[in-house]
Structure 1
């Protein structure tokens, strides 16, 4: 073979390799690094969403707690009492400092601010009317008001929560709590992704990039602009449209903002506030990594072709090179298989651990009730023994009617012990049920049956108000029963002796609410923020794992519901489970 023909063959091989690399290898390399960056971006999105949700959950109950202060109702009834107004101003200032809120202020039913934590500031809220704000309208109607806007007085972006101040059933005014968002944005500066939060109209009101704030991510309709002007939510003249273009490439959402390309991950994790959180990670580094890897692969391929062409007359060495390349590919494939298998085992271990924690919580509850259960079984056993001995005596006397009566009593005692055993067995088993419609009253009855020994042993009086009719809710029978048993057990422990436990089920917000109230000392200071955390407990050492409320919280969240707890205005604590309503299954409805 001539040198010229060898050169043409080498050029042909390189050209063919370039085509194959460009059509087969480059798309896969680029997809891998883009998808890997997208996966990291989703982790950032989840952390940011969890932080925002935690902040909203922290501030949401505050207006109701503040509104319960009797001084607020008094100043609304006597707004011209300067001493009373000064007292309420001080209360609101101290409250704002203690809960790290930007502003706390009290308005009458006309929206006029009577007292505020900012009463000492030059631009105080006192004397300003906020009846145009939706949060005022929502709270004045008796609900929890919530709204995000740019403050007309302070000029600060903030989220507002508001609650009605009541005098019995009558609403006297509204108390509002505002917290600013600058702290979130400052914390995001160190993140590897830019964060962008939009409201339902598409306006960017929180962003790690200052140039994006208070700009529209989508064209605003005339109706949306009209609503914004009416509520004075944002200055309309600042709502310029961001230069955004979106597309999907290699299975990854890509967004170009002001000429910069980002990998985008969005989620409606804060749907209760109407927020959409988007994490934006620059695509250039991922593409650069892909280019470097591709260049390395291409260089290896070219080098392999050159070496193979130069040493083609050495067949043995060429076979060795091929085997070496195949070995490297196999090692890479084996490493990837190992990583996939390792991740699968880790996920399986996490699932087993979670199931073990759920079961541990249930067995812990049964363990705490063991003394009462022992008494509940010993009573019928002693009665069975007594009836058996009496029956033997009556049998010796030939009094068959008395023997038959004693045998019937023994049978009823056996039925009673079987019923107790059945409830305990159902409660202690590992649930494998799917989420679906369950009869609420039946679940409550089963929970009370399991809890009856502990109620009796603790000398607790049960005041139960079942739901009217036959309501069905979304959940799982065994897991929902576990949640109620945990709440009842905690309530008995909180009272530490005789008292009244109030259990009620009633319609709420289109669904159903089950509440458990005790007459104990109420929630300890600082417990409200941690009571749903794993292993947090206020019980003495050895009397609880600190898992009951955490497990219950996650179970209810799996059902799409809410578990909450707070101090009751009349003393003690009240815990509630809010569940979505469900239609009865076809067979049940027919029956």
Structure 2
């Protein structure tokens, strides 16, 4: 009787333990899934917003153009040349650029189409003098899944005369999203799916049955193999686009983890209960049971020891990978400079060969003065090649060094030599303002050169599409300060420029580590680096500790 009761109590406790562990683990796993999914959804929303931002900016820019505003406002004009608008569409990646007169009559488009868009939601906003945004109305002329930004135009009296609309084909945007692991879609105020990375969702959100768990929105769907059957649903409103970003996260891994841990906990408790029954029934084998328990503890300890060792090895591997990634960023910059460096070395080599041949000829003729002049030129050219190679080798080094007294003018000159061919390729006008007296700071010539090469290379890249390409480098003292200024488009987000992996370049053009590494190097010197917009471009200011103050300390 007592044995049966003990067995029943053990089974009940095991079930309760398994259920509690399952419920706790499921809640924890779903909370972690919610956090990760929220991050993924925010990134997807940012990606769509940035893609469409170009259309908005172009619409605002064209609406402010005096010629376009005059054409829309002038009575009697109902045909604007499509060729002028086609160039704007091609350069911005827009599917169409439309000029609308009055309530919404199309008087010109890059595609040559005409029609009446007065019923468009975004046109209502434009007629009120605000920026309109939303999908293009479906129809025989303007069909397909197209998203539009419309900026109002004003006549001489300041009244709304029409609008400029820039459209983007959402199907083209979706092509690059098909491989995303999560099912993400954007719905309008009516609940219609406007854009998604799953074709199954384009017809509208799938039929869903809500089964909330611990306050989370869990939904069951039946929409094919690429849509999770049991999914955690999250949404993020995008008021600037008039859309809501939504994501369906597969809860199967969380359920499997909770089930596995629940079963493991229940099984562990059953084992413990069975052991207690066994001890209660067979006290004579207590020593053997203790030995078995010790063996199990030893196995578990060994397993934990192995796990700790594996985690330490993983941390060491991560540290090595981070160091290799940092070095790879510098070597990537060197690769971009390799073509110019080979050109810089090839010219002196050809000149050395020519001067050597001439010197031999002059020696044969007995003209030692001319031969000596040629040998002097050869020596100068060899010195120039040596400086280029030394600067390039120093830039590639990865070993850290303590801050020492450094002549900042020498670091600037070395960085200019490394980037000379790159600046020449883009015809960048370079102005360097160095004081007559040396400016000494606590830094390192090699690592300071790396910071300057990165700032100069970023400035040159930023001015690639600018009509005026002017690079200004200024060195001042009290405290030692280096200012690098360009005439590019400026900084998009000055607060995030020093974050690791932040970059505005195209994929494959950079790792986004250059400014982060430069920030770390300057901070290591005890200095400071800041970036801001000047209104005519970007400006970076590097401030270092004076060498005299360090020596006095």
TM-score w.r.t. the length of structure 1 is 0.48
- Corresponding residue number in structure 2 for 1:462: 429
Of residues 451, 471, 481 in structure 1, which corresponds to 2:416? Answer: 451
| Structure 2 Cα separation of the partners of residues 358 and 125 of structure 1 | 50
CA-CA distance at 1:352 after TM superposition: 1.5
Q: 1:266 to 1:325 in 2, by over 3 A?
A: farther
1:294 aligns with 2:262: yes
| Structure 2 Cα separation of the partners of residues 106 and 257 of structure 1 | 44
| Structure 2 Cα separation of the partners of residues 183 and 493 of structure 1 | 27
- Corresponding residue number in structure 2 for 1:29: 25
CA-CA distance at 1:105 after TM superposition: 0.6
| Structure 2 Cα separation of the partners of residues 77 and 38 of structure 1 | 51
The 8 Å contact of residues 119 and 125 in structure 1, kept in 2 or not, is answered as no
Partner deviation per Cα, 1:490-527 (whole Å, 9 max, x = no partner): 699999xxx9842479xxxxxx994249xxxxxxxxxx
| Structure 1 Cα separation of the partners of residues 210 and 531 of structure 2 | 36
SS of 2:217 mapped into structure 1: strand
- Corresponding residue number in structure 2 for 1:133: 125
The 8 Å contact of residues 503 and 516 in structure 1, kept in 2 or not, is answered as no
| Structure 2 Cα separation of the partners of residues 515 and 302 of structure 1 | 73
SS of 2:108 mapped into structure 1: strand
CA-CA distance at 1:533 after TM superposition: 4.0
| Structure 1 Cα separation of the partners of residues 171 and 333 of structure 2 | 43
| Structure 2 Cα separation of the partners of residues 554 and 59 of structure 1 | 30
- Corresponding residue number in structure 1 for 2:477: none
| Structure 1 Cα separation of the partners of residues 77 and 108 of structure 2 | 12
1:106 aligns with 2:99: yes
CA-CA distance at 1:426 after TM superposition: 11
SS of 1:309 mapped into structure 2: helix
Q: 1:207 to 1:371 in 2, by over 3 A?
A: closer
| Structure 1 Cα separation of the partners of residues 135 and 172 of structure 2 | 15
1:485 aligns with 2:456: yes
The 8 Å contact of residues 210 and 220 in structure 2, kept in 1 or not, is answered as yes
Partner deviation per Cα, 1:146-190 (whole Å, 9 max, x = no partner): x53244565977543467999xxx999864322254677798798
Q: 1:65 to 1:283 in 2, by over 3 A?
A: same
- Corresponding residue number in structure 2 for 1:532: 505
| Structure 2 Cα separation of the partners of residues 66 and 120 of structure 1 | 19
Q: 1:197 to 1:341 in 2, by over 3 A?
A: farther
The 8 Å contact of residues 486 and 539 in structure 2, kept in 1 or not, is answered as yes
Partner deviation per Cα, 1:21-75 (whole Å, 9 max, x = no partner): 555x445533554356447646754763465256336656765898999996996
| Structure 2 Cα separation of the partners of residues 179 and 27 of structure 1 | 46
CA-CA distance at 1:326 after TM superposition: 3.2
CA-CA distance at 1:554 after TM superposition: 7.6
1:10 aligns with 2:2: no
1:195 aligns with 2:168: no
TM-score w.r.t. the length of structure 2 is 0.50
| Structure 2 Cα separation of the partners of residues 271 and 72 of structure 1 | 29
SS of 1:485 mapped into structure 2: helix
CA-CA distance at 1:20 after TM superposition: 4.7
**Within 5 A, what are the aligned runs for 1:6-405?**
6-22=3-19, 25-31=21-27, 33-34=29-30, 37-38=33-34, 41=37, 44-45=40-41, 48-49=44-45, 51-52=47-48, 55-56=51-52, 59=55, 85=80, 87-88=81-82, 101=94, 103-107=96-100, 113-117=106-110, 120=113, 124-125=116-117, 132-133=124-125, 137=129, 148-151=133-136, 159-161=147-149, 175-181=164-170, 193-195=182-184, 197=186, 254-255=216-217, 263=232, 277-283=245-251, 286-287=254-255, 289-299=257-267, 301-303=269-271, 305-306=273-274, 309-310=277-278, 313=282, 314-315=285-286, 317-319=288-290, 321-323=292-294, 325-326=296-297, 329-330=300-301, 333-334=304-305, 336-337=307-308, 340-341=311-312, 343-360=314-331
Partner deviation per Cα, 1:319-354 (whole Å, 9 max, x = no partner): 454345435644654565456445534542342133
The 8 Å contact of residues 266 and 279 in structure 1, kept in 2 or not, is answered as yes
1:515 aligns with 2:487: yes
The 8 Å contact of residues 134 and 241 in structure 2, kept in 1 or not, is answered as no
| Structure 1 Cα separation of the partners of residues 265 and 303 of structure 2 | 14
The 8 Å contact of residues 244 and 256 in structure 1, kept in 2 or not, is answered as yes
The 8 Å contact of residues 561 and 578 in structure 1, kept in 2 or not, is answered as yes
Decide which moves more: 444-453 or 12-21.
Answer: 444-453
- Corresponding residue number in structure 2 for 1:469: none
Q: 1:263 to 1:330 in 2, by over 3 A?
A: farther
Q: CA RMSD in A?
A: 6.9
The 8 Å contact of residues 106 and 115 in structure 1, kept in 2 or not, is answered as yes
Partner deviation per Cα, 1:366-404 (whole Å, 9 max, x = no partner): 87579989x9xxxxxxxxxxxxxxxxxxxxxxxxxxxxx
The count of aligned residue pairs is 428
The 8 Å contact of residues 534 and 550 in structure 1, kept in 2 or not, is answered as no
SS of 2:487 mapped into structure 1: strand
Q: 1:127 to 1:304 in 2, by over 3 A?
A: closer
The 8 Å contact of residues 152 and 164 in structure 2, kept in 1 or not, is answered as yes
Structure 2 runs not aligned, ≥5 long: 222-228, 348-387, 401-407, 434-447, 474-483, 490-502, 521-528, 545-553
Q: 1:46 to 1:355 in 2, by over 3 A?
A: farther
CA-CA distance at 1:486 after TM superposition: 0.3
SS of 1:133 mapped into structure 2: helix
Q: 1:345 to 1:206 in 2, by over 3 A?
A: farther
Q: 1:66 to 1:578 in 2, by over 3 A?
A: farther
SS of 1:515 mapped into structure 2: coil
The 8 Å contact of residues 262 and 280 in structure 1, kept in 2 or not, is answered as yes
| Structure 1 Cα separation of the partners of residues 109 and 256 of structure 2 | 54
**Within 5 A, what are the aligned runs for 1:404-415?**
none
CA-CA distance at 1:77 after TM superposition: 9.0
